[in-house]
Amino acid sequence: MSMDDHVHEDAPSMAGTLNGPAPTHYRVHGEQAALFYDGDAGNAIMARVELLTDASLENGGSVASQTLDSAHHGVAEPRGDILLATYRTSANGLPEKVDIYHQHNDHYHREDTVNLDCPGLHGAGSNEDYSVFGCSDGILIVHQDGETFTAQHVDNTTLGLTGSERVGSFDSHHELPHFVAYAGDRILIIHPEDGDAEELDWTEGADVSLDNHSLDPHGEHLVLLDDAGDLRIFDTADWSEHAHVEDAVDPSTAPAASGHGSRIAMAVAGEPAHVFLADPGNDAIVVVHLEEGELEDPLPLTFTPGKLAWVGLAGEPAHGDDEHDHEGEDHDHDHDHEDEEHDHDHEH
């Protein structure tokens, strides 16, 4: 795909296909990713996790995999040779426990279980020292110190949530010390070392809802798209607003969202980073220069766009950046039912 005034159409090259029962959450952390398959309880097919890297995807396979002890809608966080994977003890519903697995060649051994429960577990994120999980009654913060894991539960009242509000997803980055937690349209900045949170006033009083969200490839900016089509960009260093692009895209032409998905597909990637938004009403992709916070020429298409996924640009990036070492950087999304893959070196 070209960043000039048109799009080059190329036949995709598929290295292989990953197969499993109900793939749902795809979690990236550092140079690893974990694909969680929910399984099929009705047919006694248990949940499964596959650990992936760029090299394994290039070869059409996984580094390691593990079948779990129950079928459930869950998630797994890869942490080097450690894998944190959810577990459900009840017959139905969401999981409430997190198991600790250690990698042994192409599979894992379960070594322990996090000592605190997380009822109704949905959503997860990781940075260098912590992993977090969303619970119906708060969040579970798991701290890693070498091979030792300790946990803290922070309830919804401490987070400032009321009634049925709960955290259900996160944005995270390996080098970002904080986590971005989403409770409906409310956005919380989680400080894992202190076990507390502050709310991000992202709407500035506007009567809008959150449609899509993402961190940039370096974890330096948080990108938010509201249901009116405005794009809001925040600096993660101090959570100040970096840019506000009004009417970036017209959401009225987008199809209705399904499940936990968004109406407008969005990808944040490239070097320098750009925000790409599907524009189905104009058969185009809207392009926003992230650092400058300005619209660039859209990319015209010969079809109506649906989902967007950043999957690669061959060769060296078009624009160098001497200020950053991009090896091992990640762009952690909790993709609720969208198995989009965000690799920051390549684009198709």
CATH of the domain at 247: 2.40.128
Rounded to whole angstroms, how far apart are CA atoms 346 and 311? Answer: 5
DSSP-derived 3-state class of residue 188: strand
318 domain residue, yes or no: yes
Sign of the Cα torsion 74, 78, 81, 82 reads negative
Write out the residue range of the structural domain in which residue 248 sits: 206-338
3 domain residue, yes or no: no
pLDDT score for 337 = 40
Q: What is the dihedral of CA 200, 201, 203, 204, to 10 degrees?
A: -150
pLDDT score for 252 = 85
320 domain residue, yes or no: yes
pLDDT score for 259 = 57
Collect all residues with Cβ–Cβ distance below 8 Å to 63 and sequence separation of at least 6.
32, 51, 52, 53, 56, 106
pLDDT score for 254 = 78
315 domain residue, yes or no: yes
Radius of gyration of the chain (CA): 20
pLDDT score for 347 = 35
Q: How many domains does the chain fold into?
A: 1
pLDDT by 10s per residue, the chain, length 348: 444 455 566 666 667 888 999 999 999 999 999 999 999 999 999 999 999 999 998 888 999 999 999 999 999 999 999 999 999 999 899 999 999 999 999 999 999 999 999 999 999 999 999 999 999 999 999 999 999 999 999 999 999 999 999 999 999 999 999 999 999 999 999 999 999 999 999 999 999 999 999 999 999 999 999 999 999 999 999 999 999 999 999 988 877 766 556 789 999 999 999 999 999 999 999 999 999 999 999 999 999 998 888 876 655 544 444 444 433 344 444 444 433 333 333 333
321 domain residue, yes or no: yes
pTM: 0.86
